[in-house]
Chain A
Amino acid sequence: MTRAQATTDLHADIVDQAIAWLVKLRSGMLDAPSQARLLAEIAQWRQAAPEHDAAWLALQASEQGFDSLRNLPPEQALRTMHTVQQIRHARQGRRKVLRVLGLSVVGAGACVAMQRPVRDWAQGSLADYTTAIGERRMIALPDGTQIHLDTDTAIDVRYTDAQRVIVMHRGRMFIRTGGDIDHADVRRRFIVHAGATRLEALGTQFFVGRENDQTRLHVTEGRVAIRQVDATDDLIAMPGQSYQIDAAGRITMLYPLDQDAYAWLDGVLIAKQMRLSEVTAQLARYRRGWLRCDPAVADLRVSGVFQLDDTDRALASLVQALPIAMVSHTRYWVTLKPLPPV
């Protein structure tokens, strides 16, 4: 071993020791006497050799970046740093799934639980607010409006002096409109753009879903006016009512009302004697890649409550409860098949 190598090796050990001390010191698990003992040990170690002291000071200096954040409320800094990751995650998630979709081949006879035209994915990629697949998020806007975004949702927020507009590109959201009390004397109109349809709200709570040029509306409180470009009259949706507006602008009222369809707001999927194909279609929305269910088992009935943040666990419980097997062709391609005959 050359002399230079020996110096480097020693240095690495010293740094490791300093790191171990620092990890322990910042654990928040030490009572006062233990803390005092540890500090004394560290002081002794530092005095034992100039390299020890240098290593300790270097570690302290390397965390200087946190000092300049002392002026910010700590929770604000932490949430910002976390939100940055979510923004990046959403961008990467979209690119990843585009690649996966490009490679997958749809087999004949299998019922595909998730299939989207590529155009749908590209749309809204530069939207103001997006959620990644499997991500749910709440946004609070300055006028007091709260918007809960479901998985894989993209919206634009276009607030002007005259009005408040939300452009819905795709996905599902739940809106609680805010009072807009800070804005001048007049509460601005609140309008959702969903394709060519305009949904105007007044002191309202409502769900909007948009997929493949179809829009769904469910009002829980207040009223929403459904306005088409060439229609003369608005259709007023009342609390408890659900409507579907198709690409051609035809409005249909939906019966019967399915309250469980909005359980995503609480982070769960509620199934009551639901067909397995429908359960997998819903879970698929929260998973990257493909989740398919073989036609042979599509009609099996499922009841239960599934956590949307843990679809792997949901699938595991389905496999336990039903005569099915889960086949993972790749990490991004899972199929539910009937159990092979024994």
Chain B
Amino acid sequence: MLTPRHSSPQHPVHVLYSDHHGWLLAWLRKRLGNAGDAADLAQDTFVRVMGKTAELPTLREPRAWLTSIAHGLVVDHVRRQDIERAYEEVLASESASCHVSPEIRLMALEALYALDVLLEGLKPNVRLAFLMSRLEEMSYPDIARRLQVSLSSVEKYMATAIRHCYEFRRMHASGS
């Protein structure tokens, strides 16, 4: 994994690795409850570190820095796990003889993941109402009945969700 350029024991990344890899591994194991996943994410963290070598010389708190990188990876990992688990459950609860091709499964997981990231931060009712409208094209009165809220609440939820998606795109869009 380490290129010849990095193989010198004095190289900052190498020093960082030998000083903190074990500690980071334990930190990840505690959060993930799984040694295999912790090892994977520890490696992923240091891959990220390789892309940030410019920050190494001025680093004051290496462990805080490493955990802030690792934290993002943990959130990502847990999200993917949750979505995969939810998807499997839903599939399993449908017809037992219906099989999903690996390609469709992969596409579905990617799309659901992106959607989950997009909707992060919305209150549960807002999120659910928005999904009912966009995924099942339910009318607002039907949504209101299902969620046991008023019609004007559903309209407010929609406005909130649409604005949320708009702000999300503004923050994440590259260029225009």
Contact = CB atoms under 8 A, between A and B. Distances in A.
Given A19-B162, A19-B163, A69-B115, A27 B139 contact: yes
Interface stretch (A39-47, A139-147, A206-214, A330-338): A139-147
A15 B166 contact: yes
Contacts, number: 132
Most A Cβ at <10 Å: residue of B90, B92, B114, B138: B90
Interface in A97-116: none
A85 B135 contact: no
Q: How large is the interface on B (under 10, 10 to 19, 20 to 34, 35 or more residues)?
A: 35 or more
Contact of A81 (B97, B131, B138): B131
B126 to A, nearest CB: 12
A76 interface: yes
Nearest to A30: B139
Most A Cβ at <10 Å: residue of B94, B107, B165: B165
Contact of B92 (A27, A72, A85, A141): A141
A140 B107 CA distance: 24
A72 B169 contact: no
A278 B93 CA distance: 35
Given A19-B163, A63-B165, A140-B92, A77 B112 contact: yes
Interface string B134-166: 111111111000000000000100110011011
A33 interface: no
A196 interface: no
Interface of B: 33, 82-83, 85-87, 89-94, 96-97, 104, 107-108, 110-112, 114-116, 118-119, 124, 127-128, 131-142, 155, 158-159, 162-163, 165-166, 168-170
Given A28-B140, A76-B94, A81-B119, 7 more contacts: A15-B163, A23-B158, A28-B142, A59-B162, A65-B115, A85-B127, A142-B96
11 contacts: A15-B163, A23-B155, A27-B140, A59-B162, A61-B169, A63-B165, A65-B111, A72-B111, A76-B94, A77-B131, A79-B90
